[in-house]
Chain A
Amino acid sequence: MNRGGWIVLAASLIVIACAVTLWPGGHRAPGGSARSPAPGAQASLAALPQPSKGFAIPRPRLLRDRAGVTRWAPVLEAAEARERPTRSSPGVVRVGTQTPEGTTNLVVVIGEAVRHGVTWVHARLAVLPDARTGWLPRSVLGGWQFVMTHLVINRARETLTLLRAGRVVFRTRVGVGKPSTPTPAGQFYIRDRLTRYASPEYGPLAFGTSARSPYETDWPAGGFIGIHGTDQPGLIPGQVSHGCIRLRNPAIRALGRLLPIGTPVTIT
């Protein structure tokens, strides 16, 4: 090897030695485990410019378990709910696009089925007798909406409990139906929210539910059960109403901040 060749070889060895020294974990202890770079190498690495950062991209988060998630959809076209998922099945009730309060009607979904290429949705219905269900074509419903809340009303204990993802987030004492007009038991859902009306007997806020009183069928709009405030807070808790769930006004305001539309309601 001539002189030039030796110089090139020597330079190459120096470069390789430097690279091995600077490379993180480049030194391997006997047995293969990595050890920290030498103090000099740390200082050299720290002197390197940091890569420029864009905005922070947060850590991806997986969704929680689907358990406890309720699906609902607005009714876009009026349609006959059927007993079974076929067009030839007897009708249960005609489901309209609006509630008696003028809000968009909606249904809570409890199942789906496909018959002859048509997707049907098994839905809870706001119809007497309470807790009836029916099948609607998927095509008459809008986009799915989801809630993770569940409202439980215990008539015997006169309590209302709101759960989110299975955890209690709100609880209060309530007024329920009188013995002559009891609050109906069953599985229902929240349909709408009314505010800024001029009816002090309902307090500052009222939620409409899919439940109907079988004892007040001649009531205007068909005797739907609401969850609302009151102008007689001294009667709560107790069996005082025509079937509605009454809360003291501070409690209904607090509930109003927590309760989304479409929340399932269990009345026991």
Chain B
Amino acid sequence: MLSRRNPQLNANGELIHLLSIEGLPRAVLHQILDTAGTFLSVNDRDVKKVPLLRGKSVFNLFFENSTRTRTTFEIAAKRLSADVINLDINKSSTAKGESLLDTIANLSAMHADMFVVRHSESGAPYLIAQHCAPHVHVVNAGDGRHAHPTQGLLDMYTIRHFKKDFTQLTVAIVGDIVHSRVARSDIHALGILGVPEIRAVGPRTLVPGDLAAMGVRVCHDMAEGIRGADVIIMLRLQNERMSGAMLPSAGEFFKQYGLTPEKLALAKPDCIVMHPGPINRGVEIESSVADGSHSVILPQVTFGIAVRMAVMSTIAGNQA
């Protein structure tokens, strides 16, 4: 177990790493969302770059493949004027047998200031945060089934942008929740921000039973799950994580839980539809919904860059 104090916060309660949304104070979340709002407007300037991380080196350590998340982190770091080094670890040292901490020690010797880490093992970013030098900051870009905090924060930014207030909302998270670190981060964030009704919707095999303990209403019936929702977060059916017979077939899943215009009509008329991407058209969401007027999937991507800028500049500005 980690130290009793939240390892993401310094003695003053300021964020120095972003490892998980779980246990963060509401004020810290709001501060990041407010800061992201400022960075969003940087895109409208003639010069789309600010010098906050000038002279700093950000290492993108992706032990698990991802193009989109790595790219948005890279753009965010570059808009903050950092030097960005992308390491596709799968293909290099790990394949030669180097341990995770040896890899980190070597990269630290190259004067890294920040690690953005994606790893298939839950907890890997914590291990790195505990063993790196005090001036080095760590951002979890997704670890196993555990957490994907920047996705959680950008989802919260998106909800706040379109709905303004969290405290009256019904949010339905639909699909493969058991494998989803996005779902876990969203549930923690929604709870911290005061959302009164959080629903987890999906088949018994994909919705863990312990969710009720997190204040989540579990719905195995799609109509019940999305009726009256203000926000629907669709999750990707994670084929690459699906081992064993958890589903009869993708077609059967779509029939029951795929988001179609007919099912969407059960939600509030001004409901927004979100998805962390990449979307599987015809598997969890119908094309006409993904491209329709309720969809905010592409704004999510745009907000994601501003939110990652906010996270990186916030932690870089706080001392261990």
Instruction: Note whether A and B form a binding pair.
Output: no
Binding site for A on B (CB under 8 A): none
